[in-house]
Structure 1
Amino acid sequence: MMSFVIVAVSAAIAGVLTTVRLQSATAIAGDNLNLQVIGAVIIGGTSTTGGVGNIPMSFLGLMTMGVLINTLSVMGISGYWQQVIQGLMIVIVIGSSSYANYRKTSSV
């Protein structure tokens, strides 16, 4: 039950901060952040099949995604291609993680 309270408070704080940053409140203000957040958590090492993940590594994944997005923006790449590159990065990380797990289990 406490986890729901923590998530609700975090979502409320994020909503207020997003409203302040955008200087307006709309229902679709954070729709484009889903791919970034999922990518940050997966790049941070959280298993997609359920299991282990930790906050420091997720934070490191968040910093990696932030640097990637800022670099792509500075290079002048459109938002569409930024999402394509983010998706490719997620696929590469999941593929390498799956391959590492396969090698670990097949060598036993």
Structure 2
Amino acid sequence: MRPGGKDLDFSRNEDQKAFVDSARAFAQGQLAPHAARWDAESIFPKEVLAAAGELGFMGMYTPERAGGLGMSRLDASLIVEELATMCRSGASLTPPSPTSRLPASSWRTC
């Protein structure tokens, strides 16, 4: 219980549930079937990165006005966690922090 007597609510909102469902489907379909081989061969196909990008996973912190999802750290961590469940290397290729959005945020043409 937090100060003031109110419990914290850790349930996911509808957007977060949708993010997790999308990441899980992608990880199960695109990552899990190949993860062991990719790790053994030390490769990660760029086509999979492109597919992740189409879902917005490569622009989680990029502002919406620049074509990204504009996510919070919590929302992005839910996606990364789901991807890592099936393929740790695949999850590590997503943008690691909101600093990745800084160049796009400063461009006035976006």
Query: Could you state the TM-score of these two structures normalised by the residue count of structure 2?
Result: 0.34
Higher RCO, 1 vs 2 (CA within 8 Å, ≥6 residues apart): 2
- Provide the TM-score with structure 1 as the length reference: 0.34
Larger helix fraction of residues = 1
